[in-house]
Amino acid sequence: MATIHNEIDNWLAANLHGDLSDAEQDALHAHLVECAGCRRAHQETKSMNKILEETLAQEKPDSAFEQRMLAGFRKRFPHRSGFIKLFVDVMRLHSAQITAVAAVLLGLVQLGRMITSEGVTPVPGRGEYTRAQFAEQRLQAAAPRPAQAGVLARSAEADAGRSQNLALPEPPPPALPAAEAKDKTESIAQAERTIVTGSDIPSAEEVAPKPAETPAPEVANRKLIRNATVELEIVSFDDAVQKITALANEERGYVATTESQKQANGKLRGQVIVKVLPENLDRFLQKIHGLGELKNRTLGTEDVTKAYFDTDARLKNAHVMEQRLIDMLKTKTGKVSDLLQVEKELGRVREEIEKMQGELKYWDSQVQFATVTISLAEKDMEEPAAFLLKERSQLALYAPDVEKIYGDIKALASEKVQITNAQLNRDYSGRISATMSMLIAPEESDSVVSRIKGFGRVENFQTQSERIAQGGTGMSENAKTKRDKVELNITISREEQEQAFQQTSLRIRTSSVDEKAKELGGVVEKQGGRVRNSTFNRDPDGREFANVSIRVPMKNYLALMQSLNALGKVENVSVQRQDRTGTQIDEANAPADVSIQIYSHGNIVSHDSGLLATLRRTLAQSAGAIMWSLRMIGVAIAFLAPWVIALIAIVWIAKRLIRARRKL
Amino acid sequence: MLKRLGCRSTQMDASQREQYQAAIHGDREAFEMIIRTHSRTLFAIAYGILQNREEAEDVVQDALVKAWKTRWRVRDPEKFPAWLATIARHRAHDLLRRRRTIPLPAETIQISETEAIDSPALDQQLHSALATLPELHRAALTLRYFEEMDYRTIENTLGLTNGALRGILGRALASMRKRLRLALTSTD
């Protein structure tokens, strides 16, 4: 009950306002019976409530309040007219809103296109547009022909009719009778042609072949020249010629010419021209095919009828002319100069007569006999006649003294050893190399090459030989082979430049580095190698390092490795070998590089380990981290600040505006 | 019991919600319906702040106009009534602030004086007592005594948590009663 007493004000108010449940009411009543103070409060509250009800009832808005509010609202926002209301109602629909947005976007896109003057998308009426344009072009084409004014007028008319038709669908409407439609299209075609050609000349289609009208040629009187060419591959040229002659005789023909050439490889190639009677030509060709393999065949006929009879007619005229001139001379009247003129003319006419007679004779002979040109070639025409063996060698040498060897090789030059190119190079770091090329007579080549090989250490020797076919291609069993001069290219380099055949690296741990390094020098000397490079270091922790790189011939490599064991504990051995395929290497003398690190342990705790060093490093790293994060924060601020400032400014301005409006 | 109540309330809400939604989307009829049903509530709130009928009526009118203009700002239709109430409250506050800064014209003072003379002393005392109450308490009182709203509706309208109104009204009544104790005893 303590709660009711403490919150008696709330309970009393709720009681008066009817907000208490039945149980709560009972509880309150029970408390009021017990507590006098609360009873008094209850009384006071009741009268307070009454006063409030009475007083505030007067202040309550009257019954017309809502109407006034509505009227005020309507006055401020008068009803829209029918159309606008309808529009607003429609726009309230979601679909309408989406459509409107889409339309606006589309409009914007079109506007953008118009502004950027991009090509307008094809419109549906385009077909008609182009057709109209076409009609216009034709009009223009017809225009610059004033000479054919009548035609032009007609074409213009037809064109007008045509362009009217163009508006209609292409095929004429089905309601029209078929015949009428055909007439119409024909007339249109006619009109069109008139326009295009500008005249009434019939088109090619109309003149097209009329085969029935052309008369069949009179074969009997015709002068036809027949000739054929045949290409044959045969085994033996002479045999073939004999057989052809026999065949020609059989067919009452003759061999006109025979011609043959001998190739470098001993094979024969030639041509036989045979004349046969035209009516036997086909049979003759059939027989010839049996002689060998047919490669090519052409058969041609030339009609010289017209030219022949023309010439014949002219010849007759010329004869008449000649006779007249002769008569003139016989009568011997007139001046001498005239007679000379006649004489000259007679000479010219006679010359012409002879020419024409010759022509006719030639044609007669041509017509009398058909010409068969037979090209003959023996088999394996392309077989090579001989082979040339070319040898090319490359030699790479390493020598301690390049210049000396260069001189020695030059001294070898003689008639049979020709030096074509010799070059001695010295680069900026003083390294010397030489390249030489020479041609050696085949019989000398082996001895010269072996002598040159003796001058230095051969790093690489390559020989390449090539058989070149002469007078043909492919293989031949009985062709001879000849050795050509040997071409030798030599490169000479200093030994130092040579790449090691094998590279080894290892570490040797020992207590006295300096001493062992010196000892190593002796060992290398004993194995025929040399020290190329050596360094000695001592680090702050007292560790000593000696790096020694040496080079020994491959044959002594194993012995060296064994003797290294005596120097100290050998560690981390790694061997690397480069396989140079395709080169001939003198493996025993090839250089092997060994790089050795001799080292000793220094102090147990180094300067950069231990507690202090770790602390120092940690401090340094954390300072670095702080600096880094500071930098990042700076970047972030620089990144965000302009936006934040802009935002604050906008908000501030907006607030100011709102406040200003409220004050109004 | 509670569940059933909840059911009924959601059903009621569904139709109400539709109305609010329509009003937000610009349906005049729906908005006019809301004016009919809610303007008295708004008046009560405004009166609670201003304690002047004419001013309160003006405020309600203004608030309705503003609400119609800016209706698109309301995202959740269920919050429409509360939003209306907020607008009315802000308008009333604005007016109150202006009243304080601008001195009242002499005429008004005279009228109020004559009214004061005519009206009984208790009424004046009540008004002055009301004036001392916090604004929220006054709004709650006016909603209760003007519209006789139940507690739940008042809480919803004023945006209070469930059950908070008991304390507010209790304290308001107690405060009033203490101020008017003398007058009360005389009436009794």
Mean pLDDT on B176-188:
69
Strands A386-399, A480-494: pairing kind: parallel
Which pLDDT score is estimated for A604? 58
Residue pair A531/A598 in contact (Cβ under 8 Å)? The answer is: no
A557 pLDDT exceeds 80? yes
The domain locations on chain A are 2-58, 82-116, 130-201, 224-378, 386-496, 500-599
- Domain A500-599 class in CATH: alpha beta
Dist. CA A580–CA A396, nearest whole Å: 14
Residue pair A381/A269 in contact (Cβ under 8 Å)? The answer is: yes
Q: Express each pLDDT in A26-41 by its tens digit.
A: 888 888 888 888 888 8
Residue pair A55/B123 in contact (Cβ under 8 Å)? The answer is: yes
Q: Is B35 on the interface with A (CB under 8 A)?
A: yes
Q: Minimal CA–CA distance to A312: which of A348, A357, A352, A351?
A: A357
Q: Minimal CA–CA distance to B38: which of B157, B188, B170?
A: B157
Dist. CA A383–CA A386, nearest whole Å: 9
Mean pLDDT on A544-551:
87
**Which of B69, B102, B135 is the last residue before a domain boundary?**
B102
What are the chain B neighbours of A65 within 8 Å (beta carbons)? 39-40, 43, 57
Which pLDDT score is estimated for A607? 63
Q: Is A7 on the interface with B (CB under 8 A)?
A: yes
A360 pLDDT exceeds 60? yes
Give how far B181 is from chain A: nearest CA, Å. Answer: 8
Question: Chain A: residue nearest B97 by CA?
Answer: A663
Question: Chain B: residue nearest A38 by CA?
Answer: B174
**Which segment of A42-51, A146-155, B42-51 scores lowest on mean pLDDT?**
A146-155
Which pLDDT score is estimated for A583? 59
The answer to whether the Cβ–Cβ distance between A48 and B94 falls below 8 Å is: no
Neighbours of A586 (CB within 10 A): 16
- Return the DSSP state at A122: P
Q: Express each pLDDT in A247-278 by its tens digit.
A: 888 888 888 888 888 877 778 888 999 888 88
Which pLDDT score is estimated for A173? 45
Q: Express each pLDDT in A590-625 by its tens digit.
A: 788 888 888 887 665 566 677 888 899 999 999 999
**Which of B51, B71, B102 is the last residue before a domain boundary?**
B102
The answer to whether the Cβ–Cβ distance between B146 and A52 falls below 8 Å is: no
Q: Is B181 on the interface with A (CB under 8 A)?
A: yes
Q: How confident is the model at residue B110 (pLDDT cuts 50, 70, 90)?
A: very low
Question: Chain B: residue nearest A54 by CA?
Answer: B145
Tokens of B4: 């059933």
Contacts with A617 (C-beta within 8 Å, 6 or more apart), sequence order:
A608
Q: Minimal CA–CA distance to A349: which of A314, A309, A305?
A: A314
Position A46: which residue type?
K
Given CA atoms A445, A447, A450, A456 in this order, what sign does their dihedral have? negative
Entry pTM: 0.35
- Are B134 and B171 in a shared domain? yes
Chain-centroid distance, C-alpha B1: 30
The answer to whether the Cβ–Cβ distance between A72 and B61 falls below 8 Å is: yes
Domain membership flag for residue B48: yes
* For testing contact with chain A, the best of B34, B102, B169 (most A CBs within 10 A): B169
What are the chain B neighbours of A57 within 8 Å (beta carbons)? 145
Residue pair B59/B50 in contact (Cβ under 8 Å)? The answer is: yes
Dist. CA A189–CA B163, nearest whole Å: 99
A206 pLDDT exceeds 70? no
Domain membership flag for residue B7: no
Dist. CA A488–CA A449, nearest whole Å: 8
Chain-centroid distance, C-alpha A173: 54
Give this complex's ipTM.
Answer: 0.77
Question: Chain B: residue nearest A48 by CA?
Answer: B177
What is the side-by-side order of every strand in the sheet holding A591-599?
Answer: A530-538, A544-553, A591-599, A502-509, A569-577
Neighbours of A484 (CB within 10 A): 16
- Are B136 and B95 in a shared domain? no
- Are B133 and B68 in a shared domain? no
Question: Chain B: residue nearest A93 by CA?
Answer: B25
Rg (CA), chain B: 19
The answer to whether the Cβ–Cβ distance between B36 and A14 falls below 8 Å is: no
The answer to whether the Cβ–Cβ distance between B146 and A56 falls below 8 Å is: yes
**Which segment of A53-57, A426-430, A490-494, A540-544 scores lowest on mean pLDDT?**
A540-544
Position A219: which residue type?
V
Domain membership flag for residue B107: no
Q: Within 13 Å of residue A228, how many CA atoms lie on the same side as its CB? A: 24
Q: Which of A19, A41, A45 has the CB atom closest to B151's CB atom?
A: A19
Strands A544-553, A591-599: pairing kind: antiparallel
Q: Is B146 on the interface with A (CB under 8 A)?
A: yes
Which pLDDT score is estimated for B140? 86
Question: Chain B: residue nearest A16 by CA?
Answer: B170
Q: Within 13 Å of residue A348, how many CA atoms lie on the same side as its CB? A: 8
Note the residue count of chain B. Answer: 188
The answer to whether the Cβ–Cβ distance between B146 and A61 falls below 8 Å is: yes
Residue pair A419/A437 in contact (Cβ under 8 Å)? The answer is: yes
**Which of B67, B102, B137 is the last residue before a domain boundary?**
B102
Q: How confident is the model at residue A92 (pLDDT cuts 50, 70, 90)?
A: low
Map tokens 């362009």 to a residue.
A163
Q: How far is CA A34 from CA A7, A18, A26, A361, in A?
A: 15, 22, 13, 168
- Are B18 and B84 in a shared domain? yes
**Cβ-based contacts under 8 A for chains A and B:** 115
Q: Which of B43, B94, B126 has the CB atom closest to A61's CB atom?
A: B43
* For testing contact with chain A, the best of B41, B125, B145 (most A CBs within 10 A): B145
Tokens of A526: 């004993």
Q: Is B66 on the interface with A (CB under 8 A)?
A: no
Give how far A24 is from chain B: nearest CA, Å. Answer: 13
Q: Express each pLDDT in A619-658 by its tens digit.
A: 999 999 999 999 999 999 999 999 999 999 999 999 999 9
Contacts with A188 (C-beta within 8 Å, 6 or more apart), sequence order:
A158, A161, A162, A165
Q: Which of A17, A57, A76 has the CB atom closest to B65's CB atom?
A: A76
The answer to whether the Cβ–Cβ distance between B184 and A17 falls below 8 Å is: no
Q: Which of A52, A66, A73 has the CB atom closest to B65's CB atom?
A: A73
Coil, strand or helix: which one is A1? coil
Range of the domain at B98: 12-102
The answer to whether the Cβ–Cβ distance between A13 and B145 falls below 8 Å is: no
Contacts with B78 (C-beta within 8 Å, 6 or more apart), sequence order:
B13, B17, B20
Given CA atoms A44, A49, A54, A60 in this order, what sign does their dihedral have? positive
Question: Chain B: residue nearest A94 by CA?
Answer: B25
Neighbours of A280 (CB within 10 A): 17
Q: How confident is the model at residue A67 (pLDDT cuts 50, 70, 90)?
A: confident
Q: Minimal CA–CA distance to A583: which of A503, A501, A493?
A: A501
Q: Minimal CA–CA distance to A205: which of A188, A191, A185, A190?
A: A190
- Are B95 and B171 in a shared domain? no
Within this chain, domains A386-496 and A500-599 share the same CATH topology: yes
Q: How far is CA A297 from CA A122, A234, A302, A609, in A?
A: 60, 15, 17, 100
Domain membership flag for residue B86: yes
Map tokens 């449940």 to a residue.
A21
Residue pair A371/A227 in contact (Cβ under 8 Å)? The answer is: yes
Give how far B106 is from chain A: nearest CA, Å. Answer: 23
The answer to whether the Cβ–Cβ distance between A52 and B126 falls below 8 Å is: yes
What are the chain A neighbours of B35 within 8 Å (beta carbons)? 66, 69-70, 73
What are the chain B neighbours of A18 within 8 Å (beta carbons)? 150
Position A422: which residue type?
A
- Return the DSSP state at A216: P
- Are B21 and B86 in a shared domain? yes
- Are B137 and B84 in a shared domain? no
The answer to whether the Cβ–Cβ distance between A41 and B64 falls below 8 Å is: no
Q: Express each pLDDT in B19-60 by its tens digit.
A: 888 888 888 888 888 888 888 888 988 888 888 888 889 999
Indicate the CATH number of A386-496 among 3.30.70, 3.30.980, 2.30.30, 1.10.3470.
3.30.70
Dist. CA B171–CA B166, nearest whole Å: 8
Given CA atoms A610, A616, A621, A625 in this order, what sign does their dihedral have? positive
Q: Is A79 on the interface with B (CB under 8 A)?
A: yes
Residue-by-residue DSSP string for A488-529? EEEEEEEGGGSPPSEEEEEEEE-S-HHHHHHHHHHHHHHTT-
The answer to whether the Cβ–Cβ distance between B35 and A662 falls below 8 Å is: no
Give how far B169 is from chain A: nearest CA, Å. Answer: 6
Ordered alpha helix ranges (H), chain B? 2-24, 28-50, 53-69, 80-101, 106-118, 121-132, 135-147, 151-158, 164-179, 181-187
Coil, strand or helix: which one is A268? strand
Domain membership flag for residue B113: no
* For testing contact with chain B, the best of A25, A53, A54, A56 (most B CBs within 10 A): A56
The answer to whether the Cβ–Cβ distance between A51 and B174 falls below 8 Å is: no
Q: How confident is the model at residue A476 (pLDDT cuts 50, 70, 90)?
A: low
Q: Within 13 Å of residue A385, how many CA atoms lie on the same side as its CB? A: 8
Which pLDDT score is estimated for A281? 85
- Are B90 and B31 in a shared domain? yes
Give how far A107 is from chain B: nearest CA, Å. Answer: 26
Domain count, chain B: 2
- Are B92 and B142 in a shared domain? no
The answer to whether the Cβ–Cβ distance between A66 and B145 falls below 8 Å is: no
The answer to whether the Cβ–Cβ distance between A48 and B180 falls below 8 Å is: yes
Tokens of A564: 């290294």
Neighbours of A448 (CB within 10 A): 19
What are the chain B neighbours of A61 within 8 Å (beta carbons)? 40, 43, 53, 57, 146
Q: Is B125 on the interface with A (CB under 8 A)?
A: no
Tokens of A84: 């606008």
What are the chain B neighbours of A28 within 8 Å (beta carbons)? none
Q: Is B6 on the interface with A (CB under 8 A)?
A: no
Q: How confident is the model at residue B188 (pLDDT cuts 50, 70, 90)?
A: very low
* For testing contact with chain A, the best of B27, B32, B184 (most A CBs within 10 A): B184
Share of chain A above pLDDT 70, in %: 78
Q: Minimal CA–CA distance to A276: which of A301, A300, A245, A297?
A: A245
Give how far B179 is from chain A: nearest CA, Å. Answer: 10
Position B32: which residue type?
E
Give the phi and the psi of residue A193 in degrees, each rounded to 5: -65, -40
Q: Minimal CA–CA distance to B144: which of B172, B121, B125?
A: B172
Which pLDDT score is estimated for B75? 82
Domain membership flag for residue B62: yes
Neighbours of A345 (CB within 10 A): 15
Burial tier of A12 (Cβ tally within 10 Å: 0-12, 13-18, 19+)? buried
Contacts with A583 (C-beta within 8 Å, 6 or more apart), sequence order:
A459, A460, A462
Q: How far is CA A253 from CA A245, A248, A276, A286, B150, in A?
A: 9, 5, 4, 15, 142
Q: Is A87 on the interface with B (CB under 8 A)?
A: no
Coil, strand or helix: which one is A454? coil
Rg (CA), chain A: 61
Strands A224-234, A370-378: pairing kind: parallel
The answer to whether the Cβ–Cβ distance between A73 and B151 falls below 8 Å is: no
Q: Express each pLDDT in A296-326 by its tens digit.
A: 888 888 888 888 889 999 999 999 988 888 8
Q: Express each pLDDT in B152-174 by its tens digit.
A: 888 888 878 888 888 898 888 88
Q: Is B177 on the interface with A (CB under 8 A)?
A: yes
Report the interhelical angle of B164-179 vs A8-16 (nearest 10°): 100
- Are B130 and B94 in a shared domain? no
The answer to whether the Cβ–Cβ distance between A61 and B167 falls below 8 Å is: no
Residue pair A269/A260 in contact (Cβ under 8 Å)? The answer is: yes
Q: Is A57 on the interface with B (CB under 8 A)?
A: yes
Q: Express each pLDDT in A504-540 by its tens digit.
A: 888 888 888 888 888 888 888 888 888 888 888 887 7
